[in-house]
Amino acid sequence: MILDKKQMSEEDIKLQFITPAITSKWTLDRVTMETKITDGQINLKEHSSLNAEIDRVLAEITEKLGGAK
């Protein structure tokens, strides 16, 4: 049973929406959870295509959740 979005925890949202969206494009051997990749900040200003992909995935997830509220 899927809970109402407002009753879901962060983990519920991740399990029901984010992980399926990621695994629809990538195989599980390419996915890690909460992996520390750097001790500092990552500067994405020079990676506009990556930013566009991140924005697209977040928009898709938001749409699946019923839009931003």
Task: Give me the long-range contacts of 34-43 (CB less than 8 A, separation at least 24).
Answer: none
pLDDT, residue 8, reads 87
Distance in angstroms (rounded) separating the CA atoms of residues 48 and 28: 25
Yes or no: say if 29 and 20 are a contact pair by the CB < 8 Å rule. no
Q: Which residues of the chain have pLDDT under 50?
A: 69
pLDDT, residue 16, reads 87
Distance in angstroms (rounded) separating the CA atoms of residues 35 and 51: 20
